[in-house]
Structure 1
Amino acid sequence: MDARLLALALGTFAIGTDSFVVAGILPDVARSLDVPVAAAGQLMTVYALAYAVMTPIMASWTAHWPRRHVLLGGLAVLSAGNILTAVLPSFELVLASRAVAGLGGAMFTPAASAAAVALVPAERRGRALAIVMAGLSGATALGAPIGTLIGSMGIGSMSDWRATMWFVTILGLVAAVGVAALLPAIPGAARLSLRERLAPIGDARVAATLLTTLLVLSGLYTVYSYISIVFDRATGGSGMVLGALISIWGVAAVAGNLIAGSLTDRFGSRKLLIVAIALAAADFALMPVTSATLAGAIGALIIWGMCGWGVLVPQQHRLVGIAPALAPILIALNAATIYIAVSVSGVLGAVALQTLDAHSLGLVGAFLILLGLIAAELAHILIRKRQADPAKIILAANRDEQSPPSTIA
């Protein structure tokens, strides 16, 4: 396997662990900071919102930087944010520290995906993106469960969730060493304004594809943000059992992510998106029943992991196919959309918990995922009709360069 892509995956593993680990330690965080679980869930919301808002801003600001500098800078900011989370005493300050960590993720992940696309020929884009995204899904299989276990057992004198944040900090620093050692020099791009970087949203094909990401990921994370209480009947309140379930979900996510890369290169994005999104919607609709037992929870999490993570690669592949010359910008917009979805889902889940039993959150997720399937088909129709000329979204700095028509639907 390409060591350059593995270096990028190592970084996304650290980012992914930071993104997902809080869900597994949420009750401990709430008790320690003396806030309700729904309020503690906003730690994920703030992280995601900072990521979403800052992704296009940082992409514009750092566009001309060498890619290695952007990636290392992102990991440094991520580590600093986690150190602050580990040491700050109050809920308000911890909340602010999650925004700092989110800024680090906003710098790193889109740059990593864009670098992966730049390192391989067009016919290997799907597999390259899958390897980088495997870092994120691998974090669910290893990083988040280990972090959850550390939080429940403690390290030395640290017997609560703060030990978990030190663990994430170490991951970020190790990833920085890997990126510095293995990633080749990749030059930056031309400096573009924030308005120019947001311009592709005006293309209906891009907008519909991003809407798919927003709806599907909102549905998925409405449950994930509160996974510890959605599956409490299956876990019996045990942090170790929850960690094991998250690990099973993560292994399925890695498998789904890697399989999606090969299938996308072979069949294109549409067929894979239809199957993955439809199965995810059915899985979430049944979750009020399946989450009641350990066996049912395992089955639900396997389907969720494979299908939910199986959506990410074809979505990126579809965007790159719309306008290959704008791959870094489109991937950054998709990454921002993912974290907008995460932030929306945290709030949506908190609101739903005021009127619904936690075990019914899957129904809310299923509805949003089905809307995402409609958006995905709309994007397919728009791409096939080629209603928007690719040249129309080539930015001022690239006006003399026209993207080839998309063949990916």
Structure 2
Amino acid sequence: MDKRLLVLASGMFAIGTDSFVVAGVLPQVSASLAVPVALAGQMVTLYALSLALLSPVIAATVAHWPRKQLLLTGLVIFVLANAVTALAPNIGIVLASRLLAGLGAAMFSPTATATGASLVAPEQRGKALAIVIAGMSSATALGAPLGTFIGGWLGWRATMWFVAVVATLAAIGVAQLLRDVPTPPSLSLARRLAPLGDVRVLLTLTTTWLAYAGAFVVYTYIGLSFDRATGGDARVLAGLLVLWGVAATAGNLAAGRLTDRLGSRRIINAAIAIVAIDFALLPWTSASLGTAVPALVVWGVCGWGLLVPQQHRLISIAPTAAPVLLGLNSAAISIGVAMSGVIGGAAISWFDRHTLGLVGAAFITVSLLVAEWAHRSIAQPDRQSADTVTAP
């Protein structure tokens, strides 16, 4: 295994820990700052929205930077932002610091995945992407549960300090172990957004957006959605997050190998269909610990198993535009996550919190229809390649 992929994965682990740990401490944030849980949930929304909107802008404005410098700068900003969150005296500063953390993540995450894909031969891209993304999925197995436990023990501010320390260690690893990699040709923002004019790319990104919006409707408010299974105990919730994260890591790695072997269509359709059914049953399976465990395992394996074939599908559409397309895919995920915070907050206000799974299932089901539409569009031999649009 290329050690450089492991270094990139370590940075993704830090980003992933911050992305997922906030959901586990929202009740503590709400109580500490005397704000509604739905308002505290906008920590997730603003972070994801910042990541989504800034990823293509950052990629265009600093395209001439060496990849190592860009990765390190992103991690430094990310560390400082989490320190501000930990020290913030009110919800306003907390939310502003989440925007800054999104900036750091926007500099690091798309750069890391694109760099990982460029380090290997085309026939090994699925595996390489799986390794880099495994850093984020493994954060759900270790970083987020540990951060949730720390929040229940020492308070949510200690959780944010924990995230800052994890990111600092990742920056040290990148600085010491990652060699400089070739800087891709510079592209303007207009050129980076040009793939959106290709219906194949647009449909694939829409699939990602809908699927992860549906999944994170539940995850953002998982402490509330699974309160019957956990009994409100942060330690039990942390244990469930560990289980979910282990399943996510296994699903992510398996998807890389299966995608290289079977192609992206079968893995995408199977993963989405299974998750849709799993979420539709959550109002009942989340009611007890015995049924919540298998539900979370299925969610972890298939939910994270979707990401690799989606990225593989995008790269197959336009191999020379891989960095641009993977950046747009990260933005699609972030927009979905941002939407989930708002949609989930509204659903909690209007309906019972235990019905969030049904809301998520609706979005995920629509994503399956769009995924098949994307496949049919890609299969048309006379459609213009996105390479001609995005290649410098």
2-side partners of 1:371 and 1:179: how far apart? 39
Q: Deviations over 1:13-64 (max 9, x none)?
A: 0000000000000100000111011110000000000000100001111211
Contact 1:204–1:388 under 8 Å retained in 2: no
Contact 1:203–1:388 under 8 Å retained in 2: no
Q: Deviations over 1:362-395 (max 9, x none)?
A: 0010010000000100010000014531166433
1-side partners of 2:74 and 2:383: how far apart? 34
State the shift of 1:240 in Å: 0.2
Residue 196, structure 1, aligned to residue 198, structure 2 = no
2:207 maps to which residue? 212
Contact 1:326–1:394 under 8 Å retained in 2: no
1:152 maps to which residue? 152
State the shift of 1:192 in Å: 1.5
Two-structure CA RMSD over aligned residues (Å)? 0.9
2-side partners of 1:80 and 1:392: how far apart? 38
Contact 1:203–1:393 under 8 Å retained in 2: no
Contact 2:60–2:187 under 8 Å retained in 1: yes
Residue 365, structure 1, aligned to residue 360, structure 2 = yes
1-side partners of 2:350 and 2:342: how far apart? 13
1:299 maps to which residue? 294
State the shift of 1:190 in Å: 2.2
1:38 maps to which residue? 38
Residue 234, structure 1, aligned to residue 234, structure 2 = no
- Letter of the 2:199 counterpart: A
* Unaligned runs of at least 5 residues, structure 2: none
State the shift of 1:187 in Å: 2.4
Residue 378, structure 1, aligned to residue 373, structure 2 = yes
State the shift of 1:309 in Å: 0.2
1:9 maps to which residue? 9
1:117 maps to which residue? 117
Q: Deviations over 1:312-366 (max 9, x none)?
A: 0000000000000000000000000100000001100111112210100000100
2:67 maps to which residue? 67
TM-score normalised by structure 1 residue count: 0.95
1:325 counterpart SS class = helix
Q: Deviations over 1:216-265 (max 9, x none)?
A: 00100000010000000000000000000011000000000000000001
Residue 106, structure 1, aligned to residue 101, structure 2 = no
2:136 maps to which residue? 136
* Unaligned runs of at least 5 residues, structure 1: 155-159, 399-409
1:259 to 254, 258, 276: 254
Residue 97, structure 1, aligned to residue 92, structure 2 = no
Post-superposition, which runs of at least 4 consecutive aligned residues in structure 1 deviate over 6 A?
Answer: none
1:405 maps to which residue? none
Q: Which moved more, 1:184-193 or 1:137-146?
A: 184-193
Q: How many residues align?
A: 392
1:77 maps to which residue? 77
Identity among equivalent pairs (%): 56
1-side partners of 2:14 and 2:386: how far apart? 37
- Letter of the 1:70 counterpart: L
2-side partners of 1:362 and 1:393: how far apart? 41
Contact 1:72–1:176 under 8 Å retained in 2: yes
2:142 counterpart SS class = helix
2:281 to 252, 264, 286: 286
Contact 2:198–2:386 under 8 Å retained in 1: no
